[in-house]
Chain A
Amino acid sequence: MKRISVTVNGVRHEAEVEPRTLLVYFIREQLGLTGTNVGCDTSSCGACTVHLNGQSVKSCTVLAVQADGQEVTTIEGLATNGKLHPMQQAFHEEHGLQCGFCTPGMIMAAVGIVDENPDPSEAEVREALEGNLCRCTGYHNIVRAVISGAKASV
């Protein structure tokens, strides 16, 4: 077991983890933050996307021990004071989700895209979402939501 200290959504957590514990399972099972989902076992689907030190990463492909001393933001940390983040609001308004399973990862990826490119074109959004799979929406409304969320985030 290794002792780690990870700040998740602004709260510092000290915990003992097995080295093989993936960051996503640390977040889900040890911290009880189950908003971050696991959709595959090959780093393909992006459902587990969180921010590590402000950058989007696939938390299924990071060991919890690698996040020691670092800052993580999950979907639970996005809304502030009960108010949805502009990207969450945009997904709601543009019907950018159906079953909602890919949604937390999709939104975290989208926030990351807009952090790096505040005014993305449709083509840029589609390209930048290459690592996040959705099976319900055909991406049409997700892409609209990201563009609209970008405008609202300015």
Chain B
Amino acid sequence: MIPAAFEYERPSSLAEALKMLSEGGDDARPIAGGHSLLPLMRLRLARPSLLVDIGGLADLRYVRDEGDHIAIGALCTHHELASAQELTGGCRLIAQVARQIGDPQVRHRGTIGGSIAHADPASDLPAAVLALDGAVVARGAGGSRTIPAADFFLGPLMSALEPGEILTEVRVAKRVGCGSTYEKFQRRAQDWAIVAVAAVIESSGGTISNAAIGLTNMAGTPIRASGVEEALAGAASEEAIAEAAGRVSEVGTPLPDQNASSEYRLHLAEVLIRRAVANAMS
């Protein structure tokens, strides 16, 4: 189908983009790769009055080592992130996740900024950013602010971004001596996850010292499995890991949908956590 009509502007700077957005009113939206927004517009489930295309703002396209964290410009595509050399240690998780998003064509266009801002609990990157104790930089007319990932995702397709703000950067804490993995369970390769687990595991000699577990599509937002993380600390055997994975039930009951019941989701999460931890340690 064809989207409903809208106005389109292509600013040459972030400042201009912010101005256009604020003048465009409530139904003005920024667009970059468009791979979250355009599918909704084609089905006329989204009808922005104005699209402000920030896709050409080259200064939002970078991956930088900032000492204690890696800063990722909002316009980095999934494809670029999948092979970004700067993503080392625990941050490699971002690359591991990026290469499992959608399909190659989607990865060539879709951006991390769009994916995070869209706040779809079934999207892959949000759980990873959350697991890496990440943060989001948002720029508005009044300046910029940094929002911890833990405070950013408010509900399905709802984030802490204010109208008129643009997500400009994603930050993930650097963690050395970690293994990471993203275990995604879906029906078809191109599908969204039924459940997925992002794991960052610090261990030595087979004993886990620190674990971060992010869950995709287990609630209205990406979430951390904090009970599991707690139980994983100190775990040194398959049995201990399995027992820790069982504490995923503490995250509450995920909603059922066409793809899976609550019970099955919870079970899958437990199995995938077990596998993710093992893979991250191997």
Contact = CB atoms under 8 A, between A and B. Distances in A.
Interface residues of B, number: 31
Nearest to A20: B3
B34 interface: yes
A46 B105 contact: yes
A128 B103 CA distance: 7
B27 to A, nearest CB: 14
Contacts of A65: 8, 10, 53
A100 interface: no
Contact of B39 (A56, A61, A109): A61
Interface stretch (A36-44, A91-99, A142-150): A36-44
Given A41-B1, A41-B43, A42-B43, A56 B51 contact: no
Nearest to A18: B5
Interface in B1-35: 1-8, 10, 31, 34-35
A20 B39 contact: no
Interface residues of A, number: 33
User: Chain A interface mostly helix, strand, loop or mixed?
Assistant: mixed
B250 to A, nearest CB: 34
A52 B3 CA distance: 21
B230 to A, nearest CB: 36
A20 B5 contact: yes
B109 interface: yes
B4 A131 contact: no
- Across the A-B interface, give the 7 residue pairs with the lowest CB-CB distance, nearest first: A131-B103, A19-B8, A130-B189, A55-B108, A20-B3, A130-B103, A130-B190
Interface of B: 1-8, 10, 31, 34-35, 38-39, 41-43, 51, 53, 55, 79, 102-106, 108-109, 188-190
